[in-house]
């Protein structure tokens, strides 16, 4: 999954954000803006495919350390000796100071480290050992797919390491909790892969889009990007979406049995009502000039047309004769 940035001013890192207008992802973006320019350690948690590395690289790009190295170290399936060798290699020659800015170390999948590797890491981090000369100053970003507090309770993760890496804990929501962003993300990935392959951007049918919004997305944003790549390769959305239909999904009845799931459904319903209200007001202000309304809402024209139909506003148009202007 690549970094996908958008901003009101191209190239302005200060205004960059990850695609999506859902309340869930906007809340994450707001926190990122607040903490990016600090040196506080950040722990990114979330399911596989939610974009933890994307956000790790975004944090570095927006930080005062952006001109210094970003080193990514995968923590998966490493033995203690191998982990120590890789850590020393990453730390070698990248010592920093607050004045010059610090190098950034991104520990991908820190929940995969065994207790021995965790001890090695502690010995190299500030305050992680008695020999201060052996300690390295870095901006630390770590990612986890597991709940580390439960890992501590089970004895699989060191409490002192958890507090060292979790200056700010940031949870990345799964795609099923930010369904409002699916169309915008799909458009982005279709354009990206069509450009890479030198092909026309395929269009998904309205029926296909309805299915994408109902799908549970167990692979999250990564699964959506893989789908977009398939659509570009086939030149048509029907076969890839048909294959998606074959993936088992959690039924609505089962979801409703869970109080937490019901709360999510309620939150999603409230979000869609708010979205409908915003679109309706934008259309009224622009006298149903949908291109101008799309610009005001900062979404694509195609996204607006789909959302007008999706939210039932299509039949409420007051002036179908209004000319669309650029």
Domains of the chain, first to last: 5-173 (3.40.50.300)
Give 206's contacts (C-beta < 8 A, 6+ positions apart): 306, 309
CA gap 56, 45 in Å, rounded: 11
Q: Could you report the per-residue pLDDT of 23-65, keeping only the tens digit for each?
A: 889 889 889 989 998 989 999 999 999 999 999 999 999 998 8
pLDDT per residue as tens digits for the range 159-194: 999 999 999 999 999 999 999 999 989 999 999 999
Task: Using alpha carbons, select from 158, 157, 165 the residue that is nearest to residue 107.
Answer: 165
pLDDT at 308: 83
Running DSSP on this structure, what letter comes out for residue 119? H
Distance CA 140, CA 163 (A): 12
| DSSP H/E element including 208 | helix 206-214
CB 289 within 8 A of CB 325: yes
Average pLDDT in the chain: 79
- State how far the Cα of 193 lies from the Cα of 200, in Å rounded to an integer: 10
Q: Is the dihedral of CA 145, 147, 153, 154 positive or negative?
A: negative
Q: Tell me: the pLDDT tens digits for 223-265?
A: 999 999 999 998 888 888 888 876 655 433 333 333 444 444 4
Distance CA 320, CA 146 (A): 52
Q: What is the pTM of this model?
A: 0.69
From start to end of 166-291, where are the E strands?
168-171
User: By the 8 A CB rule, do 308 and 299 touch?
Assistant: no
């Amino acid at each position: 999954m690549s970094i996908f940035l958008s901003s009101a001013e191209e190239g302005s890192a200060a205004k960059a954000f990850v695609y999506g207008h859902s309340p869930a992802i906007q809340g994450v973006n707001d926190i990122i803006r607040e903490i990016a320019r600090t040196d506080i350690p950040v722990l990114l948690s979330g399911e596989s495919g939610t974009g933890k590395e994307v956000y790790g690289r975004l944090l570095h790009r927006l930080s005062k350390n952006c001109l210094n190295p970003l080193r990514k170290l995968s923590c998966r399936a490493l033995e203690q000796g191998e982990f120590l060798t890789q850590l020393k290699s990453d730390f070698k020659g990248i010592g920093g100071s607050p004045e010059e800015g610090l190098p950034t170390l991104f520990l991908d999948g820190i929940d995969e480290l065994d207790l021995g590797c965790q001890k090695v890491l502690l010995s190299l981090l500030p305050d992680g050992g008695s020999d201060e000369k052996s300690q390295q100053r870095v901006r630390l970003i770590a990612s986890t797919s597991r709940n580390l507090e439960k890992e501590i309770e089970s004895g699989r993760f060191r409490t002192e390491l958890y507090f060292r890496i979790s200056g700010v804990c940031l949870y990345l929501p799964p795609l099923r909790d930010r369904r409002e962003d699916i169309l915008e993300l799909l458009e982005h990935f279709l354009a990206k892969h069509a450009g890479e392959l030198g092909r026309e951007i395929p269009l998904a049918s309205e029926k296909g889009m309805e299915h994408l919004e109902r799908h549970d997305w167990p692979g999250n944003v990564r699964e959506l990007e893989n789908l977009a790549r398939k659509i570009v390769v086939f030149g048509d959305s029907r076969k890839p979406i048909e294959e998606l239909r074959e993936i088992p999904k959690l039924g609505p009845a089962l979801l409703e049995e869970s109080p937490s799931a019901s709360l999510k459904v309620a939150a999603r319903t409230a979000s869609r009502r708010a979205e409908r209200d915003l679109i309706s007001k934008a259309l009224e202000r622009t006298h149903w000039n949908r291109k101008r309304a799309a610009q005001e809402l900062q979404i694509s024209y195609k996204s607006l047309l789909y959302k007008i139909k999706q939210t039932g506003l299509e039949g409420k148009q007051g002036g179908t004769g209004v000319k669309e202007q650029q």
